[in-house]
């Protein structure tokens, strides 16, 4: 029923998707940090900037998943976006001890899931 090669291939796809999303997130966070330190951008918008960065990372993760799986782009994009958000949550949890669950977190989940689904659709249709 389950082939070892297909299970290994799916694991590799999850790993590629996760690494791509984390690398994009890290690079965009570093770029944003540099921009914040060199310009007088208001700090009250940081939550929205981080939402955009995580959404772009989920989009890239979904695109990588869709590109390699070549089917069920929306579902695979959502699954890979959820995995990426879960990993980012645990990284944030260990980095910052005080986590407050607010409406922004719920909005972040919804936006990231939608971006992951869109990324999966784009990845499936990419040549």
Average pLDDT (52-79) is 87
Burial pattern 48-74, b for ≥16 Cβ within 10 A else e, equals ebbbebbbbbbbbbbbbbbbbbeeebb
What's the pLDDT score for residue 4?
58
Task: Give yes or no for residue 100 having a pLDDT over 70.
Answer: no
Question: Which residues 6+ apart lie within 8 Å of 55 measured at CB?
Answer: 111, 112, 115
What stretch of H or E contains 35? helix 4-38
Percent of the chain topping pLDDT 90: 12
Average pLDDT (41-64) is 86
């Amino acid at each position: 029923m389950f082939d070892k090669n297909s299970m290994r291939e799916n694991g590799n796809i999850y790993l590629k998707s996760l690494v791509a999303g984390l690398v994009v997130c890290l690079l965009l966070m570093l770029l944003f940090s540099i921009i914040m330190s060199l310009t007088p951008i208001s700090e009250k918008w940081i939550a929205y900037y981080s939402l955009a960065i995580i959404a772009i990372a989920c989009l890239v993760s979904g695109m990588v998943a869709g590109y390699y799986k070549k089917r069920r782009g929306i579902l695979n994009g959502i699954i890979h976006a959820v995995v990426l958000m879960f990993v980012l949550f645990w990284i944030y949890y260990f980095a910052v001890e005080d986590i407050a669950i607010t409406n922004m977190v719920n909005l972040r989940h919804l936006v990231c899931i939608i971006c992951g689904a869109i990324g999966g659709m784009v990845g499936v249709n990419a040549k």
